[in-house]
Structure 1
Amino acid sequence: MDIDAFAAVHSSQWNRLAQLSGRRRLDGAEADELVRLYQTVATHLSTVRSAAPDPAVVTRLSDLLVRARTKIAGSHEPAWRGVVRFAVVTAPAALYRIRWWAHGVTAAALLVAVVTGANVANDPEALRAMGPPSVQEQYVNEAFADYYDPGVGFAGRVWTNNFWIAWWCVAGGITGIVPLYMLWQNFVSVGATGGMMAAHGELDTFLTLIAPHGLLELTAIFVAGAAGLRFFWSWIDPGPLRRSTSVAREGRALITVAIALVVVLGVSGLIEGFVTGSSMFWWLKIVIGAIALAAFWAYVYALGGRAVRDGETGDLSADEAGAYAVTAG
């Protein structure tokens, strides 16, 4: 197909659609004409993409259709419909796509924590590095348990701290180094604390206090790290896409994951604020934490798996994302 001839033949329709899309008010006839032209130009875009994917024409028509669609349908969907779609389609799809990255990060981070903990528990030199004996005793016997102070204020502080860690994993994802550093730093710290508790005969206290909220909280950190690393990998290995397109798509999906994790960390903060330090039986606390974790992964695998099979990626729709440069091959 001769793209220049095609553009010359249809440019009057494209210009008319642009004109109508830019008007503040339309009468009935003009509104009907806008809809007809929108459908016609959408067909033109499909033809160009399949027969002669010229980047300039694709970009022009895509932008034109986005403006026309906004004029026809309004700037956005009804708020609650958008929220529901995000919760049951977009977010789980984005989480499902990085599930294997999350599982890999989980295994690696837990290995780091266990090896660090075993080293601190069994190596006198490593244990001494945790502080003087009196400081260790005070932390093990008082400070660790006293930290979990039930209440809204404590839950808010916990959420803020965990969100900060997750934010660094996400925001620094493109570097590849920041997520690894944050994960390493935090899980060496967790492992060292557990090792010190074990060396003083309080490993059971450590596990029963960290497990109720930690099952979901640490999973959220693992997912944040996985999302950041997946974002970095979209730059390293863009596949058949242009590197800029790959990074843009993964970046938008990354934002979806980040928003979802705000909610997940909020739930884990509530568990830490009202369950971990409460007077409930220790086994009941762990059951609550396990149920929260199971609910999260059921959400990811059930809703996310279905959404991905339906073609969702966690990215914006084609109209919302706008045009992209077409590449051959």
Structure 2
Amino acid sequence: MTPKQFAAARAPGWAELEQLVARGEGGGDEKVPYDGARLASLYRRCCEDLALAQARAYPVQMVQQLESLTQRAHRLVYRRQGVEFAQLRRLALIEFPQAVRAHARYVAMATALFAVPLVLAAWASWRDPGFVLHLLEAARLQEFDAMYGPGEHGIGHRRDADTDWAMFGFYILNNIGVGFQCFAAGLFAGVGSAFYLLFNGLFAGALGGWVVGRGHGTNFFSFVVTHSAFEITAIVLAGAAGLRIGHAWVAPGQRTRLDALKAHSREAVVVIYGVVWMLLVAAAIEAFWSSARWVEPEVKYGVGAACWALVLLYLARQGRPLQGGWDAR
């Protein structure tokens, strides 16, 4: 579809949204009823049009027009006080999964940067236990051996943590730190995000292969299978957002680098909001469920499979507009 065809097909919706926004801002005919639900519906569709226009490198004037329109509509949709819960609900059910799909090619790149070294390192460490020593010291390996071994401590618990709540705090700090590294390092032309994705994939794969080689496969996999659906996905998404920031710096297009960074950051920050939420969920599961020895491994495998399916389905399908063009349903 050419830019002219795209604009011709979407122009009626943009024009109607412009009228509703002007009315809401006090510049339109006050006698005409103000339809907030219609405004929200058109706003969501315009956000998708903006993402398409950016992905297809349509003329910068069109992109800037849609950016301005969506920003004005956004202020109207969220200007009411006391709607924090509604905003969070909208972020979780619509904006976050839509933003992830808008970053699809960056998500694919981040997934490859994390998954390929993970698989290769796991295979290398399983075949040659000495390989893991390139990444971890022997003292750290002894700690992990105790964490996933058949000892009296809960699976995955550090020796200096007495309670699940202590581990919950530790996991929050650790998870948020890793996610922040993968995202913020994107400012270095995306190279930093790529490095942290590669490093975390290597670390996780090498450690996993070594633990399995030690005969602790059941404890290890039953521990990681559930919370990894949220944790690994969040780390990959944080890296994807960082790669997009880096791409804006390297290839700003017709904008200045600063303008490109601002525009891409506004869109990437929605992904980061969702990433933080997923990392908090992962920390809670890891502390209170994954480490529970009273739960049979088979049960954890089943719950873990369900969590992976739900996360992937949520990101792939949640927040898609109903069919029927610009009609509010």
Shorter-chain TM-score range: 0.5 to 0.7
**Which letter does structure 1 place at the counterpart of 2:79?**
H
User: Residue 17 of structure 2 corresponds to which residue in structure 1?
Assistant: none
State the distance in 1 between where 2:320 and 2:103 align: 11
User: Residue 315 of structure 2 corresponds to which residue in structure 1?
Assistant: 300
Quick check: 1:235 aligned with 2:239?
A: no
Q: Secondary structure in 2 aligned to 1:148? A: coil
Contact 1:91 1:257 in 2 (8 A): yes
Q: CA deviation at 1:301?
A: 1.9
Quick check: 1:77 aligned with 2:80?
A: yes
State the distance in 2 between where 1:135 and 1:228 align: 29
User: Residue 8 of structure 2 corresponds to which residue in structure 1?
Assistant: none
**Which letter does structure 1 place at the counterpart of 2:277?**
V
**Where do 5+ consecutive residues of structure 2 fail to align?**
1-24, 31-60, 158-162
**Where do 5+ consecutive residues of structure 1 fail to align?**
1-32, 39-54, 312-329
Q: CA deviation at 1:158?
A: 0.7
Q: CA deviation at 1:183?
A: 1.5
Residue from 96, 100, 116 that aligns with 2:101: 96
Identity in percent: 23
1:262-285 deviation digits (Å, cap 9, x = unpaired) = 111111111111111111111211
User: Residue 152 of structure 1 corresponds to which residue in structure 2?
Assistant: 165
State the distance in 1 between where 2:87 and 2:145 align: 49
User: Residue 285 of structure 1 corresponds to which residue in structure 2?
Assistant: 300
State the distance in 1 between where 2:243 and 2:260 align: 14
Contact 1:173 1:229 in 2 (8 A): yes
Contact 2:147 2:156 in 1 (8 A): no
1:130-164 deviation digits (Å, cap 9, x = unpaired) = 555x975x446423354634623312221221111
Q: Radius of gyration: which is bigger?
A: 1
> What is the aligned-residue RMSD (CA, Å)?
3.9
Q: CA deviation at 1:242?
A: 5.1
State the distance in 2 between where 1:85 and 1:291 align: 24
State the distance in 1 between where 2:271 and 2:133 align: 40
Residue from 232, 237, 241 that aligns with 1:218: 232
User: Residue 172 of structure 1 corresponds to which residue in structure 2?
Assistant: 185
Contact 1:170 1:254 in 2 (8 A): no
Q: CA deviation at 1:298?
A: 2.2
Q: CA deviation at 1:259?
A: 1.0
Contact 1:96 1:305 in 2 (8 A): no
- Which range moves more in the overlay, 83-92 or 73-82? 73-82
1:276-328 deviation digits (Å, cap 9, x = unpaired) = 11111112112222322322222222224439x989xxxxxxxxxxxxxxxxx
1:150-201 deviation digits (Å, cap 9, x = unpaired) = 6233122212211111112122212112212211222211122122223323
Quick check: 1:143 aligned with 2:152?
A: no
State the distance in 2 between where 1:305 and 1:238 align: 28
- Which range moves more in the overlay, 282-291 or 145-154? 145-154
Higher relative contact order (CA 8 A, sep 6+): 1
State the distance in 2 between where 1:179 and 1:128 align: 24
Higher helix fraction (1 or 2):
1
> How many positions carry a matched residue from both structures?
255
**Which letter does structure 2 place at the counterpart of 1:187?**
G
Contact 1:163 1:265 in 2 (8 A): yes
Q: CA deviation at 1:252?
A: 0.7
State the 4+ residue runs in structure 1 displaced beyond 6 angstroms.
Answer: none
Contact 1:95 1:304 in 2 (8 A): no
